[in-house]
Amino acid sequence: MQTTIHLNRGMDVDSSVVFYVGVSIYSEYDAYIKAHLDEIKQMFEKEGYKFIYMPEFANSVLTTERLMYYYPFISRFEATILNTAGCDYLLRFVAEEDRVKVKPAFMRIDKDDDTKARLWCLEPLKNKTFEEQVDNYLHPSQSAKSDSRGRLYCSTPLICIDDLEYNDIKDTDPKSYADEHFDDESNRLITEIRERISRLHQNGVNDAILRNILFTERKLSRLVVTKDYRILLPDYNDLEIYLKPLPKAVFFLFLRHPEGIPFKYLSDYHDELLYIYGLLSNRIMFDTMVKSVQTVCDPTSNSINENCARIKEAFLQHFDEYLAQYYYVTGCRGCNKKITLPRELVNWECRI
């Protein structure tokens, strides 16, 4: 009743997630699941599993807004198509030679090899009720059950904010203040951002599902700085990123330096930042501009962190951190801070 199949790519999804996989939405199983979905979910939840029925998941979770947040490179039309995904959707990830094995079944990703999945094929309902089959699936022998349960996974690449080498080291140099508190300001702002975009998420939905069952890869967009200093992402539906002049000047400064900039030596970039800020700002009072730039370049001040947090906020408002992390300033404590977007994707239409 249980068999192993191969996938044509890894799916880093928590192995406690159980998918129903069918070959048609008109089968007796689909009709039963639709009519008793809440009860079926509860049966799985009592045993620590999450049951996913793709047509319902697509309709309730894969909204156009949520899809375009996780996948900013797709069109609204493509998002609408995904919003109607059927119970046979996951077949596209099954290796061609194993697709013949797939019949109405429960499927989980193997906890030790995410290029494999375990199928538990269903029997005709005339032979055994659906509840009986769920019960048999959830209550195998204790040894088999313990062997098949998996650890939690997270598909989001972790951004190195606190390098372990520096984790317990407190630099007493006053010039290290901004570097020491780099992620403090960012975390405060990101908490605010997450509250604002919480409507994109659903309690109990593992983000890894969204990140793994839709596209084999997600691409970075080109970044264009226009002649009038606008920031455009043409491959993300011509998205424009809005920043006020000072954080935009900081963004352009780091974009000009792919090697990165250590916060301790920000004062070395004072004149360059002032020049960029002057191009972007409509301020007539030069002294005020100079004072703002001096504060940003002061490593004992928190100003650089506030501006980097604003940059991060501007991107995370539009798309997921998995992609956004390439566009804002990141870096481990004690290391150069940089924007990691490959510079071949950056097109300067202006002179800065």
What beta strand segments (E) does the chain contain? 2-6, 17-21, 50-53, 105-109, 116-121, 223-225, 231-233, 239-241, 329-330, 338-339, 346-348
**Contacts with 56 (C-beta within 8 Å, 6 or more apart), sequence order:** 34, 37
Q: Is 215 exposed, middle or buried (0-12, 13-18, 19+ CB in 10 A)?
A: middle
pLDDT tens digits, one per residue of 41-90: 999 999 999 999 988 888 887 788 888 888 899 888 888 877 788 888 88
pLDDT tens digits, one per residue of 119-156: 999 999 999 999 999 999 998 764 344 444 433 233 33
For the entire predicted model, the pTM comes to 0.71
User: What does DSSP say about strands 17-21 and 50-53: parallel, antiparallel, or unpaired?
Assistant: parallel
Q: Give the DSSP letter string of 294-309.
A: HHHT-TTSSHHHHHHH
Which residues does the chain have with pLDDT short of 70?
A: 1, 25-26, 141-178, 181-208, 211, 213-217, 283-284
User: Which phi and psi angles does 130 have, rounded to 5°?
Assistant: -60, -40
